[in-house]
Amino acid sequence: MIVSVLFVSYALVLGAEIVGDKTFYTLGTLATRYRLRPIFWGSALAFMLKMLAAVVLGSAIAKLPSILVAALSAGTFFTIALVLWFKKPELDPVPVSATRSSLKIAAAAFAGIFFSEWGDVGQLAAATLAARYRLPSVVWAGAVLAMTTKGILAITLGASLRSRIPRELFRYATFSICLAMGVLAVFRIDL
């Protein structure tokens, strides 16, 4: 029973999260600029905490006012867009390994994941599974594994784009994506 609940949790959360998700864009974008290991650890911690909240709070997450969820997501994306817009362009590309400390990179990955998309489909799936099977630690483990799998896919894709897209072009593209995601969050439209 435990193995099947773990598998169901993993498959359902990964399936719910993998297509067109904002987390995918967030991690992929970070991976184009920064070292991958701190991005992984920062996002993994955020995934663990968000899925813990989903499992522990279960139905309470689904009952949060949608306007609050939309405001938090929109605020996060608009803030990222503003930071990108006003950031001075780097004249000489800095090697990826020397751009920032591991702690700052991990903190950026954590914040990008933790402070956006509360009450999303993956969390609701985890909360529902925890309520149904009454095995919250097993559901949590399956959900975290699913989210980490998604994170690894996003980081890998972002790292592969690093050498193919000019930095300045990518900066404007990222700004545009964050702006669009913020607008979608304001109108509570999911991708």
Q: What's the full length of the chain, in residues?
A: 191
114 pLDDT above the threshold of 80: yes
C-alpha 173/C-alpha 27 separation (Å) is: 15
Instruction: Give pLDDT, residue 77.
Output: 65
Per residue in 46-90, pLDDT tens? 999 989 988 886 555 445 677 776 676 677 667 767 776 776 655
Q: How many angstroms from the chain centroid is the CA of residue 38?
A: 14
C-alpha 20/C-alpha 29 separation (Å) is: 14
Tokens read off for 9: 């949790």
What are the extents of the domains in the chain?
Answer: 2-186
User: Terminus-to-terminus CA distance in the chain, angstroms?
Assistant: 33
Q: In this structure, which amino acid lies at residue 88? A: K
Tokens read off for 6: 């773990």
Q: In this structure, which amino acid lies at residue 164? A: R
Per residue in 123-179, pLDDT tens? 777 877 777 777 888 989 999 998 899 889 888 887 887 677 666 776 677 677 767
Residues 6+ apart with CB under 8 A from 166: none
C-alpha 150/C-alpha 38 separation (Å) is: 16
Q: How far lies 119's CA from each of 48, 58, 64, 133, 158, in Å?
A: 15, 10, 8, 20, 25
Instruction: Give pLDDT, residue 16.
Output: 62
C-alpha 64/C-alpha 46 separation (Å) is: 19
- 119: how many CB neighbours lie within 10 A of its CB? 23
Q: Which residue in 115, 85, 92 sits closest to 23, CA to CA?
A: 115
Q: What is the pTM of this model?
A: 0.66
